[in-house]
Every structure is written in C-alpha cells, then in structure tokens.
Structure 1
Amino acid sequence: MTITLLLLACLLTCAGQVAQKYAVESWRGLESGIALKLRSPWLWLALLCLGLGLLVWLLVLQRLEVSIAYPMLSLNFVLITLVARYLFKENIDLRHWCGVGLVIAGVVLLGQHA
C-alpha cells in the first residue's frame, strides 16, 4: 500500500508539472494581465494535481521515514524526462539518460529498506 501511495504521489506531481507546462504554453500571445491567465483550465488542473499529490504525500510520510520517502520523489525526474522526450519531443542526450539510470538505481537501493 505504501509503495502504491508513493507512486501515486509521484504521478500526481508529474501530472501537475505537465499541466503547468501546458498552462504557460497557452499563455503565449496573451496580454500580461493575470485575469486571462487565471481562466486557463491547465492552471486549475495543475493546482488540483499538485494539491492531491500533497495530500497523498502526507499519507506516505505517515508510513515511511522521511529519509527513505523523500529521495523516492526523485522518480519525478525519471517521469518528467520521459514526458519531455515523448510528449514534448525534447531531445534528451546520453548524459541525461545516464543520470536517469543513476536515479533509478538510487531508488531501487533505497526501496530495499522500505
């Protein structure tokens, strides 16, 4: 159950970050005023996902030591890299992929203590 909650917190946070990206992309060409920007459904989706992610994260912290739980959030780097590559068509170089591999190795090592 704890691992499921941890993965859900990561997914919600990642979804919130993707929605943030779409929100700022939708603001291109708009006036600098905030009123139009506040109408962006992407902004509200980002706030919803990040808010839910926070609530799930609190449940994770009830079940895991913070020294184990917090580094597990580095899975977000992996998820966001995949989203950047496949959804936003960004070029990811070999050094970046090696870093992603190291993050995964670190999560696996920490996960053995959970």
Structure 2
Amino acid sequence: MSGSKHIDWLHGRFGTVVLWALLIACESGGQIATKIGGDQLGQMDFSLQWLHAVLLNPGVWVAISCYIGAFFVWMLILRRSTLSLAFPLSSLVFVAVLLASWLGLNEQISLLHWLGVAVIIGGIALLAEGEQN
C-alpha cells in the first residue's frame, strides 16, 4: 500500500471530524490544565520564586503541550476550511471547557451558562446549515 493511501482518511470528512475533536480536546485540556496548575500554585506574588514554581508545575507543562498541539491542529484545519467558518466553530471549545469544569472540577454551572451553551450550539448549527446552501 502506498504512503498516500495511509493518510487519505485525513483529507476526507472523517479526517475533518478527527481534527476538530483533537482541537477541542487540546484547547479544552489546555484550559483545564492551566486552571489546575494555577490552583496548585496558589496565591503567590509575581516574583522569581513564582516563576520557578510555574516552571516546575506539571499542570503548566501539560497546558503548554496542549496549546502547542492545538496550534498545529488549527493549522491543519485552516488548510481545509475558511476562517469565517472555522473560527466560529472553534467556539465549541467554550462548551467543552464548561462541561469539563462541571464534570471534572465540580464547578457549579448556572442556568444562564447552560443557556449560553444552547445559543452557541444553535449558532453553530445555523453556520453549518449556511455552508450547505
């Protein structure tokens, strides 16, 4: 089997879904890791001691890794999509972070936040429908 057949899946619809899932996972993971790392650091004044603690914090390194991964995935997404569609779709990260903070960090989410999630998902549905026409 030639090398190009091994990566053909990446250029189809399935590949697009995989890239979006990776982007949402990387960006959401970066936000959650930043929150956890910040909580672990506590209330420290900005100083060399704080900077040293940041550099030794695993949550910070996970966040940095997630953001680097998200950057490369975003580049792949933008190669196959218009920015005017891709950027609004990236708002799914807001939904994923809200869900992860609720499920993983036990944060309380207000009814207004849930309404915001519904509005975001509705807006994405409208954008997707507009792309079909």
TM norm. shorter chain > 0.5: yes
Give the deviation of 1:72 after TM superposition: 0.6
Alpha-carbon contact 1:30-1:36 (below 8 Å) kept: no
2:88 corresponds to 1:74:
no
Query: Which residue of structure 2 aligns with residue 46 of structure 1?
Result: 63
2:39 corresponds to 1:25:
yes
**Root-mean-square deviation over aligned CA pairs:** 1.6
For the residues of structure 1 that align with 2:60 and 2:113, how far apart are their CA atoms? 28
Give the deviation of 1:105 after TM superposition: 1.1
- Say which SS state the counterpart of residue 56 (structure 2) adopts: coil
Structure 2 gaps, min length 5 = 1-14
CA offsets, 1:25-62, max 9 Å, x none? 11026675211221011111100011001100000000
Runs ≥4 residues deviating over 4 A: 29-32
Judge which range, 78-87 or 64-73, deviates more. Answer: 78-87
Give the deviation of 1:16 after TM superposition: 0.6
The TM-score, its normalising length taken from structure 2, stands at: 0.79
Rg larger for: 2
Query: Which residue of structure 2 aligns with residue 10 of structure 1?
Result: 24
Identity of counterpart residues, as a percentage?
Answer: 32
The TM-score, its normalising length taken from structure 1, stands at: 0.91
Structure 1 gaps, min length 5 = none
Query: Which residue of structure 1 aligns with residue 105 of structure 2?
Result: 88
Between 1 and 2, higher relative CO (CA 8 Å, sep ≥ 6) is seen in 1
